[in-house]
Amino acid sequence: MNKSSRREFVMKSALLTSAALLPGLMFQGCRAKKTGLPVNDPSEALKVVDKEVWFIDNLANKDYRPLPSDPRFRYYSGFPVIEKVQPVPFPWGKENFYSGNGGYLTDNVYLEPGKPWVLQLAISTPGIGDTWAGSVQYKVWYRNSVDSGKTFSALKQVVVKGYTSMNPITGVKIGRNGFNVDFTRPIVRASNGEIMIPMGTGRWDDEKGKIYSPVSGAGLFGDAGVLIANWLPDGRDVEFKFGGWNRIDYNQSTRGLAEPTIVETLIPGRFAMLSRCSNSGRPELPGYAWVSFSDDYCRTWSPFRPFTYADGGNFFVPTAHSTLIKARKTGRVYWIGNLNETNPNGSHPRYPLAIAEVDPENFGLIRDTVIKMDTRHPEIEGPLVQLSNFNVMENVETNEFLVVCTRIENGKSASHPSWYRIKL
């Protein structure tokens, strides 16, 4: 296919925002009536109002339109950069630091409403991030500001009250297994004023003396939890608490839990947690997203159940993160992720990229709100293309999300991110 033909194909494909994801299911339609919130007019249903699709193969691209410059999409801006390599008070002396600084809601930054207080988190490891060796050494750090991010305190290690720098939280020991926050989901302010930070760890196997790995070939096994932060009275520091790790059986997810995302439901103190799960190594298992609930502000959790449509029907999700996010203007809850037609095989397929509203009463996707932001373009992309690892911005005034995703395939990344403006 020549460059002109590819561009024509791309432009036609970009207009198909209401194509069906599942047989009989349209991506764009009226809202279901059972939402527990005022029902929007059908003309106000979720829809993609603008998008820029940018491929790995540059022959398929033409002129790139950068992310919308409207500053109202940025959750924050102008923060001093966290240096990528820094000294640490451990025998190895220094570590690699990873943090967000793009203004996304998913950058592990929290702004206290009505006050100039800012909490920002980062992770570090003496190894390389997002690798087996690096991830088991993850540590979490934080810094805070009392002047809306103009200046910050020095980075401090996150240590739960009553623990130590070498054992910063229950179940974690430095040099053995780590814990981390991810740059793919928002920090949540609870109705009681606490700051809820979803995080993960590798489950330690005391008997074998290594990270738990119950399914051959599936990889390391994780648990998920919520770090709870409370401001000191003057906002110059925070104190960390923790309830306990949420766990899932390997017969439900062969890699356990990772990259959890949380949201408070209509009932104060009742939280839902979704986590990246997997059927890697056992493709006969259903590749679901799994949901668990807490009725005590993220201290303890219920057994997991499949995350379904509000009508009880199942859908599938690969081993890829997804995000729950509550619109700040309306209080409606949305899910963003890779929604598969058929059972995935571990991490694939990581497309299409979809968004839908969550019914807050039974906590399932409202079927006729599901829309596809983007999917694989088979004339240009192979079956291993990834439309995952996205970030989210929000324009509260216009009630829009901006979802940003860089395409990846076979170790190659697109030179620019694709982006999608979603009217809520």
Q: Give the max Cα distance, the chain.
A: 64
Residue 332 lies in a domain: no
129 exposed, middle or buried (CB, 10 Å; 0-12, 13-18, 19+)? middle
Report the alpha-carbon distance of residue 140 to residue 96 in Å, rounded: 12
* Residues 210 and 120 both lie in one domain: yes
* Residues 31 and 110 both lie in one domain: no
Cβ-based neighbour number of residue 316 at 10 Å: 18
Q: Given this model, what pLDDT does residue 192 score?
A: 98
Residue 314 lies in a domain: no
Task: Please tell me the total count of domains within the chain.
Answer: 2
Retrieve residue 292's tokens.
């668990």
* Residues 23 and 101 both lie in one domain: no
Residue 400 lies in a domain: yes
Report the alpha-carbon distance of residue 224 to residue 353 in Å, rounded: 24
CA-to-CA dists, residue 389 to 96, 182, 339, angstroms:
20, 10, 14
Residue 407 lies in a domain: yes
Give the predicted TM-score (pTM) of the model: 0.90
Residue 338 lies in a domain: no
* Residues 378 and 290 both lie in one domain: no
Query: Which pairs with CB-CB distance under 8 Å and at least 24 residues apart come from 57-66?
Result: 57/6, 57/380, 57/381, 58/415, 59/3, 59/6, 60/3, 60/6, 60/7, 60/10, 60/377, 60/380, 61/7, 61/10, 62/3, 62/7, 64/416, 66/416
* Residues 163 and 282 both lie in one domain: yes
Low-confidence ranges of the chain (pLDDT < 70): 1-44
Report the alpha-carbon distance of residue 273 to residue 197 in Å, rounded: 11
Answer yes or no: are the C-beta atoms of 205 and 229 closer than 8 Å: no
Report the alpha-carbon distance of residue 355 to residue 332 in Å, rounded: 13
Retrieve residue 287's tokens.
């590749």
* Residues 301 and 166 both lie in one domain: yes
Q: Given this model, what pLDDT does residue 44 score?
A: 61
Residue 30 lies in a domain: yes
* Residues 101 and 170 both lie in one domain: yes
**End-of-domain residue from the set 307, 337, 362:** 307
* Residues 159 and 14 both lie in one domain: no
Answer yes or no: are the C-beta atoms of 300 and 277 closer than 8 Å: no
Q: What is the pLDDT of residues 45-103, one digit of tens each?
A: 899 999 999 999 999 999 999 999 999 999 999 999 999 999 999 999 999 999 999 99
* Residues 1 and 95 both lie in one domain: no
- Start-to-end Cα distance in the chain: 36
Answer yes or no: are the C-beta atoms of 235 and 117 closer than 8 Å: yes
**End-of-domain residue from the set 307, 337, 367:** 307
* Residues 33 and 83 both lie in one domain: no
* Residues 105 and 185 both lie in one domain: yes
Report the alpha-carbon distance of residue 13 to residue 15 in Å, rounded: 5
Residue 36 lies in a domain: yes
DSSP 30: P
* Residues 255 and 363 both lie in one domain: no
Residue 333 lies in a domain: no
Structural domain span for residue 292: 76-307
Q: What is the pLDDT of residues 305-331, one digit of tens each?
A: 999 999 999 999 999 999 999 999 999
Q: Given this model, what pLDDT does residue 27 score?
A: 35
**End-of-domain residue from the set 287, 307, 327:** 307
15 exposed, middle or buried (CB, 10 Å; 0-12, 13-18, 19+)? exposed
3-state SS, residue 105: coil
